[in-house]
Amino acid sequence: MVALVFGANANAQSLSNAVFQKHREPAEKAVEKALRYLADNQQQDGTFNDSYGRSTGVVALVGMAYLSAGYTPGYGEFSENLDRCIDYTLAHQKSNGLIDNGDSGHGLMYAHNIATLFLSEVSGMVGEKKQKELDKILGKATKLLLSAQSVPKNDGHKGGWRYKPDSRDSDLSCSGWALMALRSAKLNGAPVPDEAIKKAVEYVLKNHDKESGRFGYTDPWGHSETLTGCGLLCLELCGYHGTPSTFKSGDFILQNRQKVVNNAHEYYANYYNSQGMFQLGGKYWEQYADWMYNEYLGKQNANGSWSNGRNGGTYGTAMMILSFTVPYRQLPIYQRDETVDEG
């Protein structure tokens, strides 16, 4: 069982949450089954034979899924699968710092942002030789993030990111991944200027409607059902915990959660919603988590995957594992303030 890998501290944290306790056994079985599905379908080079399965972004998501369940390089049943994810990601950095193998379509920065986040999260878990390689690649990857943010843009797009390193516009979806990658790098001691984080948060807020709590794609309204969780998590992790904006965002998500089901971006939305609501805590996490486990446990396919027929089983399964394992708190980027929910 996955629980055997977590360690005493993580188990204690998981057990303290009544909602997770209610769903714990079926959730852990589902996660274990999903991890096995990913392992069985991974190629020797670390890739997968479905939609974008060779993209560094998708391979990195799978690596993060293993980390989120408590598996680390060189330890546990799936350590070899995790190592393949790491090696594949490390092997595909271009001379300009971009981590992409050419199979990410037009979303070059999506792949780069997720790959950078994954490598930053796994930093410190690998051997000395691989750590040196990782440090070098992460340094160049982080510099690319900063340079892409600094490309001249009009006021509505300043501070954000979009599909390419030289894009002159921005969107919240791509910017959310980039901000998470920068924050993770900064937590690891990388020289990420405070001003870069500040500008990124300012961009996120440009896509926020304070009255309703919603966040949108390139304005406060577009695709709000699937992007409000992204905006919420960005604020929660960047010093805005427990503010009127985040509480209203939580209310918006609770009111609109059913709308993400069967949406083209369903797994993405649920991933960000679960992460953001866990950070917010209280009734927000409890109500969302209860809904999430009830909604998606029964939708896992017999082979262990989740797929809505749009993005392939690898992507959907990795995202659902990351959503289900929020209470495990294994990924450093998503650690929660220990004072949340006290009393």
* Number of domains the chain contains: 1
Q: What is the Cα–Cα distance from 92 to 225, expressed in whole angstroms? A: 34
Q: What is the pLDDT of residue 181?
A: 96
Nearest partner of 243 among 288, 200, 210, judged by Cα? 210
Q: What is the Cα–Cα distance from 265 to 261, expressed in whole angstroms? A: 9
Main-chain dihedrals φ then ψ at residue 156, nearest 5 degrees: -75, -15
Condensed to tens digits (0 to 9), the pLDDT of residues 43-61 reads 999 999 988 899 999 999 9
Q: What is the pLDDT of residue 329?
A: 78
Does 212 fall in a domain?
yes
Nearest partner of 171 among 230, 213, 112, 101, judged by Cα? 230
Does 33 fall in a domain?
yes
Q: What is the pLDDT of residue 9?
A: 36
Q: What is the pLDDT of residue 312?
A: 76
With beta carbons less than 8 A apart as the criterion, state whether 7 and 70 touch.
yes
CATH number where 154 lies: 1.50.10.20
Does 339 fall in a domain?
no
Does 341 fall in a domain?
no
Does 340 fall in a domain?
no
For the CA atoms of 20, 25, 122, 91, the dihedral, rounded to the nearest 10 degrees, stands at -130
Structural domain containing residue 295: 3-334
Condensed to tens digits (0 to 9), the pLDDT of residues 266-301 reads 999 999 999 999 999 999 999 999 999 999 999 999
Does 112 fall in a domain?
yes
Q: What is the pLDDT of residue 16?
A: 42
Does 324 fall in a domain?
yes
Q: What is the Cα–Cα distance from 291 to 258, expressed in whole angstroms? A: 9
Q: What is the pLDDT of residue 327?
A: 86
Q: What is the pLDDT of residue 103?
A: 67
Does 342 fall in a domain?
no
Q: What residue ranges of the chain have pLDDT lower than 70?
A: 1-17, 103-106, 311, 335-343
